[in-house]
Amino acid sequence: MIIRYLKQFKTIYASLFVLIIWYILHLIIKSNIIPNPFQTILVFIQLLQDDLLIHLAVSLTRIVFSIIIAVFCGGTIGLYLGMHEKYDLFFGPVIYLLFPLPKIAFLPVFMILFGLGNTSKIVLITTIIFFQILVTTRDSTKGLSREIFYSISSLGANKWQIYKHVVIPAALPKLFTALRISIGTSISVLFFAENYATTYGIGYFIMDSWTRVDYVEMFAGIIAISLLGLFIFKIIDYAERYFCKWALLEKKDSALF
């Protein structure tokens, strides 16, 4: 019974839990570096009517563009390498070398190459998501059994139809997992990147409030960036539920949440 309620209202329950911990910390630490959560929420709502929404929209646009470019490029290359072993033999080691590199270290390079504006930020986030998507889609394609290719070929499928009916749908669940993993990193990196050469974006908003020693506003910014992350996660969840119904059916019995 309790489990069913928890499942139904999981986001509300989790938010309440975080708020309570926050409030306890606020009471214990007794410093204005951790403001009262309820006061912060009020300020957050007020700021939304001001310019916080614009900061959020700018950050969201940067992330969405990066996701689209990374999924398209990383997915295409990943699927291709997964299907063509000889190219993978050649590029595999290069990817292996580049994948674990902390891409954020290249921010200065990107800023010089692509300018101080949106492009360098989008390029940076794109590279982070790109490798994650590339590696997972490639590995998922490589893991497909020979029989499944024989089976679809015996039905008369051409190359494009094999991609459409077998390779892409098989890679989708892993692609969504890869997105979830890389979105967290992307938001942190975006926060960092938005500290440079911009006056818009949620990262800028938070650091600007901090320098003004306005901790309530700073926390309102933190709430905003958290909600941004949550929003993107929910969108990915819905997309997964729509595109990968079959994979979720397999998981349903084993997982609670």
Partner 1 sequence: MIDVHNLVVQYGQTKILNNLNMQVKRNESCAIIGPSGCGKTTLLYQLAGLRKPNEGKIIINGTTLTDIRDKTGVILQNYGLLPWKTVWDNAGLGLKLRGFSKNHRDNVVKMILTELNVYQQRRQYPTQLSGGQQQRIAIARAISIEPDILLMDEPFSALDAITRESLQDLMIKLYHQKQLTIVLITHNIEEAVFLGEKIIIMHPSNGTIKKIIDNPHFGDKAFRNTTDFHKLCVEVRSEMAGRPS
**Which residues would be at the binding site for partner 1 (CB under 8 A)?**
145, 147-148, 150-157, 161, 165-166, 169-170, 172, 244-247, 249-250
As measured in angstroms, the least distance from the Cβ of 88 to partner 1 is: 22
As measured in angstroms, the least distance from the Cβ of 82 to partner 1 is: 17
CB 189 within 8 A of CB 124: yes
As measured in angstroms, the least distance from the Cβ of 173 to partner 1 is: 9
Nearer of residues 155 and 256 to partner 1, judged by Cβ:
155
Give the closest residue to 74 by CA, choosing from 188, 165, 171.
171
Residue 99's identity, in one-letter code, is F
- CA gap 43, 227 in Å, rounded: 15
Nearer of residues 49 and 154 to partner 1, judged by Cβ:
154
As measured in angstroms, the least distance from the Cβ of 161 to partner 1 is: 6
Which pair of structure tokens corresponds to residue 245?
């119904």
CB 103 within 8 A of CB 189: yes
Nearer of residues 100 and 156 to partner 1, judged by Cβ:
156
Nearer of residues 120 and 137 to partner 1, judged by Cβ:
137
Nearer of residues 49 and 158 to partner 1, judged by Cβ:
158
Q: How far is CA 147 from CA 150, 151, 179, 218, in A?
A: 5, 6, 29, 56
As measured in angstroms, the least distance from the Cβ of 237 to partner 1 is: 18
CB count in 10 Å sphere of residue 29 = 10
